[in-house]
Homo-oligomer: A and B are copies of this chain.
């Protein structure tokens, strides 16, 4: 393959946001785990406006193993969803597929335990599909559109080109899970580039 040139890239640098394993909870599941009347409290604001890591954590119990202190991301959502890295899934003993957020057909479930109780989540455990958030105006100026798949270039000794990165609305940020970030030696805030489609 020929060497990449400046003109092969879109003219912007994209910051990386690494997502550790986490859970989104619906109102009903949150109440079952933490007790009625309890509210999520903000531990840290996230890159996307309005989203936050909560102080509250849960325990995930899979057929093979347990993950403790799994962070809840707020605010509450319409459906509970567990996002783990493949490394985590081996520890739990699950084989979740790569899915976009909210696409839960055929995904495994898991037991989730909080301080006030446990739930048997029937489905909703996924490996999150990597995606690139971008503001609407910026996307338009770059001739990108939502749901488009692009390629992302990562520099360095573990440099790579990631295929099938889906464009999503939001504040400019490439979301990777911990396996992807560690494979590419990336940390949150590192910069990558988009190959011109």
Contact = CB atoms under 8 A, between A and B. Distances in A.
A183 B1 CA distance: 23
Contact of A8 (B1, B8, B87): B1
A84 to B, nearest CB: 11
A159 B152 CA distance: 11
Contacts of A130: 158
Given A1-B8, A151-B1, A161-B160, A179 B87 contact: yes
Interface in A134-158: 151, 157-158
A4 B161 CA distance: 13
Contact of A179 (B151, B159, B183, B196): B183
A50 to B, nearest CB: 28
Q: Main secondary structure on chain A at its contact with chain B?
A: mixed
A97 to B, nearest CB: 9
A184 B164 CA distance: 12
Contacts of A177: 183
B182 A85 contact: yes
B183 A183 contact: yes
A183 B185 contact: no
A118 interface: no
Nearest to A85: B182
